[in-house]
Amino acid sequence: MTWGGNSPFLFSRENMNISLTDIEYFPKLSEETACFSAILCVDNKPIAKVRNHGTGGMHNYSPVGSLDEYNINKNLLNQAKKWAVTLEPKIFQEYNITLANELDIVVDDMLEVWFADTKKQVVSYE
């Protein structure tokens, strides 16, 4: 992981460059999971709003943009979801479980690093 610059939060592998920008965290609303909202980007282009209500459910993704952009961004979001499941399974050693990867887990990984030091602007996975 490397930090620096003013770029958005980054996660990049296998020709897919995914990042989060405009992250907002709401600790008072976080119950079982982190309550947050952010903009999901592919190749630094905003494609969707991602949010979690903090009550233990999965993340919600809503493509952004005008009608033409919306359809393109919806397609990019579907590609990102398909890409995420091709990643290696996620191992949670503290619970002794392994889960198939998915976009929610990729977003959670980026948020985890962001939570570690919210003063940082960029994180890259290589």
Domain coverage including residue 90: 9-116
User: Per residue in 44-67, pLDDT tens?
Assistant: 899 999 999 999 999 999 999 998
Any domain includes 111: yes
Question: How remote is the C-alpha of 35 from its chain's centroid?
Answer: 13
- Is 25 inside any structural domain? yes
Residue 33 lies in a domain: yes
The verdict on residue 3 lying in a domain is no
Q: What is the pLDDT of residues 12-55, one digit of tens each?
A: 445 688 888 888 888 889 898 889 999 999 888 999 999 999 99
In a domain, 91, yes or no: yes
Convert the pLDDT of each residue in 109-121 to its tens digit: 998 888 887 755 4
Residue 78 belongs to a domain: yes
Distance CA 123, CA 16 (A): 15
Q: What percentage of the chain carries pLDDT values higher than 70?
A: 82
Q: What is the DSSP letter of 96?
A: T
- Whether 9 and 25 have beta carbons less than 8 Å apart is answered as no
For the chain, the domain total comes to: 1
Find the Cα–Cα–Cα–Cα dihedral 109, 115, 117, 121, rounded to 10°. 60
Tell the residue number behind the tokens 């996620």, with chain if given: 90
Mean pLDDT estimate for the chain: 82
Residue 110 lies in a domain: yes
